């Protein structure tokens, strides 16, 4: 983000000839409030946006259609963008009157609430500008108060490093220990700050078939997910945004959810993953059993493993799980 800040600040640095930007909002509103799913601790929560096809593919098609129509009506050039270049889609959407950037930093529409994807068409045509939308958050702060990892240092500001969406989808390494409990059973993204927005009383269920929830991508049994290997992960999530993390990061997330489940019946899954080839996975398997089993049981499993464990992060997880220096047990 920092590297592209300058290019983000002004669309003309991306394309000097651009004269107007047209913003598209695509409604992906869920049929029901998804938050009760967070109570099903043996299931993994997937953010609503990721419960079917990758939205980039869907929106790109629609933008291209609209851009083609524009190009056929005028002698202007067009380019389309959906997260494909450093474009500040949210401030542009606000300027175009689609909605305003709420205190959770996402664009809220008076018509659709905040379940809205954004996409942009840049054109060399001089078009009359719409009125910008103004802020309608008022004194509300529901989105700020619900955030499980306190990712908002202030209204309208997000510390992405604390956001579960970033941690579970984009972050490649170990997730900081102090943030793991707040993640609960969210294994891919988070919708808490979106779902509590009162403007969603005007939201409507999305009608784009490729974005309507697939039931096999919601409330997924953690037991089943913990058994995915690389090929089965790819087959299961092909064409969806979930494939982005790859198998190891995904299983890392599943193990955090298992550790947070309080369900001792799931400990066997974590125990099996103690011997996984990926250190990312092994480390979270240790954390999960540390949350589910007694210190004696953890120490018992540590003894056999530590002899062969040469990854320092995994050794550190063992140390923390037993709350005694690793050297003593090893």
Nearest to 274 by CA among 25, 262, 292: 292
Nearest to 185 by CA among 259, 126, 132: 259
Q: Is 48 in the site for ligand SF4 (CB under 6 A)?
A: no
Nearest residue (CB) to ligand SF4, 12 versus 110? 110
Nearest residue (CB) to ligand B12, 141 versus 272? 141
Nearest to 188 by CA among 205, 166, 159: 166
Beta strands in the chain (DSSP E): 20-27, 43-46, 78-81, 100-101, 107-108, 116-123, 186-188, 220-221
Q: Which does 156 bind (CB under 5 to 8 A by kind): ligand SF4, ligand B12, none?
A: ligand B12
Q: Is 235 in the site for ligand B12 (CB under 6 A)?
A: no
Largest separation between any pair of C-alpha atoms in the chain: 76
Q: How far is the CB of 153 from ligand B12 (least distance, A)?
A: 10
Q: Is 261 in the site for ligand SF4 (CB under 6 A)?
A: no
Beta strands in 18-67 (DSSP E): 20-27, 43-46
In order of 47, 108, 240, 281, the CA distances from 227 in angstroms are: 21, 38, 19, 12
Q: Is 93 in the site for ligand SF4 (CB under 6 A)?
A: no
Q: Is 143 in the site for ligand SF4 (CB under 6 A)?
A: yes
Query: Beta 78-81 vs 100-101: how paired, if at all?
Result: unpaired
Q: How far is the CB of 318 from ligand B12 (least distance, A)?
A: 30
Binding to ligand SF4, residues 163-182 (CB under 6 A): 163-165
Q: At what angle do helices 279-292 and 246-261 cross, to 10 degrees?
A: 10
Element (H, E) at 143: helix 142-146
The SS3 of residue 28 is coil
Are 253 and 221 contacting, i.e. CB atoms less than 8 angstroms apart? Answer: no
Contacting ligand B12 (CB under 6 A), which of 54, 133, 191, 269? 191
83 is an active site residue: yes
CA dihedral 174, 228, 223, 167 (to 10 degrees): 30
Contacting ligand B12 (CB under 6 A), which of 63, 144, 190, 281? 190
Q: How far is the CB of 201 from ligand SF4 (least distance, A)?
A: 11
In the bound state, the residue with its beta carbon closest to ligand SF4 is 102
Residue 129 per-residue DSSP state: P
Binding to ligand B12, residues 19-48 (CB under 6 A): 47
Q: How far is the CB of 83 from ligand B12 (least distance, A)?
A: 5
Contacting ligand SF4 (CB under 6 A), which of 198, 210, 228, 243? 198
Q: Is 187 in the site for ligand SF4 (CB under 6 A)?
A: no
Q: CA–CA separation, 207 vs 27, rounded Å? A: 8
Contacting ligand SF4 (CB under 6 A), which of 51, 104, 249, 319? 104
Q: Is 89 in the site for ligand B12 (CB under 6 A)?
A: yes
Binding to ligand B12, residues 133-162 (CB under 6 A): 156-158, 160
Binding to ligand B12, residues 97-136 (CB under 6 A): 101, 104-107, 114, 116-119
Q: CA–CA separation, 227 vs 233, rounded Å? A: 9
Catalytic residues: 83
List of residues contacting ligand SF4 (CB under 6 A): 102-104, 108, 137, 140-143, 147-149, 151, 158, 163-165, 190, 192-193, 196-199
Interacting residue ranges for ligand B12, rule: CB under 6 A? 1, 8-9, 47, 49, 82-83, 87-91, 101, 104-107, 114, 116-119, 156-158, 160, 163, 165-166, 170, 189-191, 193-194
């Amino acid at each position: 983000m920092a590297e592209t800040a300058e290019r983000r600040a002004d669309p003309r640095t991306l394309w000097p000839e651009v004269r107007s930007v047209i913003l598209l909002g695509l409604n992906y509103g869920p049929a029901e409030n998804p938050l009760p799913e967070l109570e099903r601790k043996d299931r993994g929560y997937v953010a609503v946006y990721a419960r079917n096809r990758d939205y980039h593919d869907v929106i790109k098609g629609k933008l291209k259609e609209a851009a083609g129509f524009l190009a056929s009506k005028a002698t202007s050039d067009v380019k389309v963008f959906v997260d494909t270049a450093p474009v500040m889609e949210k401030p542009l959407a606000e300027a175009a009157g689609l909605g305003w950037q709420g205190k959770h930093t996402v664009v809220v529409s008076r018509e659709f609430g905040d379940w809205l994807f954004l996409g942009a068409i840049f054109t060399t045509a001089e078009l009359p500008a719409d009125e910008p939308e103004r802020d309608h958050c008022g004194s509300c702060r529901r989105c700020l108060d619900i955030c499980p990892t306190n990712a908002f240092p202030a209204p309208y500001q997000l510390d992405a490093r604390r956001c579960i969406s970033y941690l579970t989808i984009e972050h490649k390494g170990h997730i900081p220990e102090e943030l793991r409990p707040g993640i609960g059973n969210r294994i891919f993204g988070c919708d808490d700050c979106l779902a509590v927005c009162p403007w969603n009383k005007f939201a409507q269920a999305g009608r784009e078939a490729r974005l309507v929830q697939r039931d096999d991508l919601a409330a997924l049994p953690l037991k089943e997910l913990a058994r995915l290997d690389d090929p089965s992960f790819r087959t299961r999530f092909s064409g969806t945004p979930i494939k982005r993390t790859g198998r190891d990061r995904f299983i890392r997330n599943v193990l955090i959810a298992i550790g947070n489940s309080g369900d001792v019946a799931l400990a066997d899954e974590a125990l099996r993953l103690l011997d996984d080839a990926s250190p990312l996975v092994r480390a979270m398997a240790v954390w999960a059993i540390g949350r589910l089993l007694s210190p004696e049981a953890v120490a018992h499993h540590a003894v056999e493993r530590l002899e062969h464990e040469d990854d320092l992060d995994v050794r550190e997880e063992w140390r923390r799980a037993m709350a005694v220096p690793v050297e003593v047990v090893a």
